[in-house]
Structure 1
Amino acid sequence: MNGFRLRAGALGVAAMLALAACGSDKSADNGDKTGADGVKLGPGVTDKTIGVGMITDLTGPYAPLGKSISQGAQLYFEQVNQAGGICGRTVEPQVRDMGYDVQKSVASYTELEPKVAAFAHFIGSATVGAVQDRIAKNGPLTLVLAWSPQMLGAKQIQMTGTTYAVDVINGVDYAVKTHGLKSGDKIGHIYVEGDYGVDSLAGSTFAAQQHGMTVVEQKVKATDADMTSQVAAMKSEGVKAIVLSVSPKQTASAVGVAAAQGLNVPFLGSNSSYAPQLLDTPVGPALVKNFVVMQAASPLSADLDAMKKLATDYKAKYPDATLDNGVMAGFTTAAITGDALKLACEKKDLTRDGIISAHRSQNAWDGGFGSKMDFTDVSQPPSRDTNILQPDKDSLGGLKTIQEASASDNAKKYEIKVG
């Protein structure tokens, strides 16, 4: 009976994908038009408005970050509209919560795709992956908050920063330099199933090989809450450091269990593994002592005018909200989307091809946020630099920089396999 239910469920998903694909093909027939101002108009664009989509997680495992991401993006577009919009048009953001559920992601994309000129963000490797072929076939410019190499290769799909693997390589090389790891040592890696975990593990495996070390693996599900058995396995193997490519709640469990078991080793967290709210929990002191975050983006505490303005504006707009990495991620991806639309307007071409071409013409985008990115090569991430950040209650956003963005020799030579 259980096998039948699983098979029936799989068939149901397949049918849904097939119907969605048909819908996508139909929407691709929308003819480009020319506006009253002589600008070519594609789907989601009228003489007065530009629709921009956001597919986020407001109720699933990454809900705290998803809320911040969406609010950061909405803040950007609100400011753009207050300044007169883009190309004389009001930008209309449309947010959909998919709860980190593949079927809801498919439904959200199917609904919004004909209505938007671009997606300012789409969260999650697995959720984006469910419609990736459709985006690559005829979809709009889509900024993905997912760092799997599976996201590379299509002109329509743009990740920010670098891949999970490259971040982990930079992080392991940092641990070798600062914590005295050496050849023959073991490093642990607790990772969530799916592209996020798989690519992160590829990074730790590569870095370990370069240093003559080995990796002790522990795979978990996104729904797993207790990391006791995984940490116990790490302790029994005598690991000298642990990489975490999991959710923030799972990070809290792993670091807390390690402290309780007397396992005093450095923890290296992938960019989706941390939320500053954890500092107010019992595990907060252990995070400050032993945990660092590896991410391409500068933290909110960076001494940058653009970051300081963002923090001030966000707190004014959302006074009760927590400042975290999601705020910067949402605002930045929205700014990248906005800049693509502005460049396309200069060419009088707000068709999908016009917007994508404008975006892909930029080889040193910074936006004032301290992370220079090259969008011209669809087969490579826009950067290989990683910041090493430490949890800190006194720093804006709960993180402070302990190593500025850089790429180790191992990160530079790592071969990224697309698709």
Structure 2
Amino acid sequence: MLVAVAAMFTLAACGGSGTNTTAAASVPGVSNDTITIGAVLDTTGPLKVICAPILAGDQLYFDKINAAGGINGRKVKLVQVSDDGDSTKTKGAVRQLFEQDNAFALFQVCGSGNANVAESYTNPKGIPFVDPIGGGSKFVDAQGKALPWVWMTQPNYGDEGHVIGYYLTSKQHAKTVGLLYEDDVLGLQQKSTLSESLQKNGAKLTASIGYNAAQPDFTAAVQALKATHPDVIVLNGLPGPTAKFVAAASSQGYRPPMGYLANYPMADNSWAKVLGSAGDGTYVSGYTSTTSPIGQEYLKATSGDAVFSAYKFYGYINSKIFSDALSKAGKNPTRDSLRDALDHDFNNYDTGFGPSLTWTPDKHGGVSDFMFFQIKQSQLTPASDFIKAAQVWP
């Protein structure tokens, strides 16, 4: 008996490190000194213009966190895989992260359709998936119930469509609006909500022309929209195709009387630079501001960059959100404890870039505040304050 008691005291004395080792060993991606998280960011294909700078922003923030000792004593290891921007390759990339690289959680998949493929793998397995990159990403089921393991940070394109319609009619007094939209999950939702908002505010959608993301020629699309005589044309989609449309219109000597307004994937100076002089005066929807402390912190950290990148800033600020969630998940995080933190510790959470964020077990949507920028000499300059979607719709 004395031997048994002595053994118990010995185990108790060593229990702190031993218990931690056992707990860490039983949780995928968590060791005594590291948390491994996975990301699917296209750094080799058509989405590279967006995803590569996002990855750079991620790494910048995680490097900062790790240099300060990590999160609850563990360094964050970000494992990134590229799916070439091809949603048919996304599932294989996600499987690699969790079946080979043993990741703890999924942080970011670039592209709405790609994110939806990733969700079909992670959600049934109870793997946390934070920050699907794309306003058409799925975060509710067919009945509108929150998917239990997916949390959005950015706005959905439906809310943005309502705010764009309000802004065009109430602030710019447009009466007729044309729409160029990507004919998939990215554009279809916004097509519907933009039309609703315009109608509510006494304007109308004169024409909506869909296009394929790989479409090389926009001559016919320009002619079709021009024929309906819109005051302004809304550009929905991604930087490459929308820039091709503006270039095609410019080559034909056409520009709508009130110009263009682009949705938030174009809210970066790289797009403005591609447009050149044809883009001057164009308005762009966005939802981040650098006037806050974290914005100023980012600007200081990137003072050597040739130009401000909204995409890189996106990576930085969303890595902060995810790091805060990992911290709230406890000293020995599990997937369940991370889920609990995400569902209960983000009530009116200050994102640091303007809008607040609220998640609950029944609400996993992202922020829903938007501001507008105008391109002046190939630079995005603020043109409005934040507008809350809930204030303009219904």
Fold equivalence (TM over 0.5): yes
- The correspondence of residues 95-110 of structure 1 with structure 2, limited to 5 A, is 95-110=80-95
Q: Do residues 248 (structure 1) and 246 (structure 2) align?
A: no
Which position in structure 2 is the counterpart of 1:288?
280
Which position in structure 2 is the counterpart of 1:143?
131
Check the 8 A contact 2:139/2:364 in 1, yes or no: no
Give the number of the structure with larger relative contact order, counting CA–CA contacts within 8 Å between residues 6 or more apart. 1
Q: Do residues 128 (structure 1) and 109 (structure 2) align?
A: no
Distance change (3 Å), C-alpha of 1:148 and 1:411: farther
Deviation at 1:393, TM superposition (A): 4.9
Match for 2:198 among 203, 208, 212? 208
Distance change (3 Å), C-alpha of 1:380 and 1:342: closer
Deviation at 1:383, TM superposition (A): 2.8
Task: State the distance in 2 between where 1:390 and 1:189 align.
Answer: 18
Match for 2:383 among 396, 402, 409? 402
Task: State the distance in 2 between where 1:409 and 1:82 align.
Answer: 40
Distance change (3 Å), C-alpha of 1:393 and 1:355: farther
Which position in structure 1 is the counterpart of 2:14?
none
Task: State the distance in 2 between where 1:401 and 1:229 align.
Answer: 33
Which position in structure 2 is the counterpart of 1:369?
353
Distance change (3 Å), C-alpha of 1:388 and 1:355: same
Which position in structure 2 is the counterpart of 1:177?
170
Task: State the distance in 2 between where 1:332 and 1:341 align.
Answer: 14
Q: 1:206-261 CA distances to partner (integer Å, 9 max, x unpaired)? A: 11221343321111011013322112111101112211112212222222333422
Task: State the distance in 2 between where 1:409 and 1:151 align.
Answer: 19
Helix, strand or coil: the match of 1:111? helix
Gaps of 5+ in 1: 1-32, 414-419
Task: State the distance in 2 between where 1:141 and 1:380 align.
Answer: 11
Q: Do residues 360 (structure 1) and 343 (structure 2) align?
A: yes
Check the 8 A contact 2:295/2:353 in 1, yes or no: yes
The one-letter amino acid of 1:194's match is D
What percentage of residue pairs aligned between the two structures are identical? 22
The one-letter amino acid of 2:32's match is D
Match for 2:302 among 314, 324, 328? 314
Deviation at 1:336, TM superposition (A): 1.2
Helix, strand or coil: the match of 1:134? helix
Task: State the distance in 2 between where 1:314 and 1:97 align.
Answer: 24
Check the 8 A contact 1:168/1:203 in 2, yes or no: yes
Q: Do residues 325 (structure 1) and 310 (structure 2) align?
A: yes
Q: Do residues 385 (structure 1) and 369 (structure 2) align?
A: yes
Deviation at 1:142, TM superposition (A): 2.5
The one-letter amino acid of 1:364's match is N
Check the 8 A contact 1:119/1:140 in 2, yes or no: yes
Which position in structure 1 is the counterpart of 2:189?
199
Deviation at 1:349, TM superposition (A): 4.2
Which position in structure 2 is the counterpart of 1:92?
77
Deviation at 1:40, TM superposition (A): 8.8
Match for 1:43 among 15, 28, 33? 28
After TM superposition, the score normalised by the length of structure 2 is 0.85
Deviation at 1:266, TM superposition (A): 3.0
Distance change (3 Å), C-alpha of 1:88 and 1:262: closer
Higher alpha-carbon Rg: 2
Task: State the distance in 2 between where 1:155 and 1:403 align.
Answer: 35
Distance change (3 Å), C-alpha of 1:369 and 1:180: closer
Which position in structure 2 is the counterpart of 1:12?
none
Alignment RMSD (CA, Å): 2.3
Q: Do residues 164 (structure 1) and 157 (structure 2) align?
A: yes
Deviation at 1:192, TM superposition (A): 0.8
Helix, strand or coil: the match of 1:151? coil
Distance change (3 Å), C-alpha of 1:274 and 1:250: farther
Q: How many residues of Structure 1 are paired with residues of Structure 2 in the alignment?
A: 365
Check the 8 A contact 2:219/2:248 in 1, yes or no: yes
Deviation at 1:409, TM superposition (A): 6.0
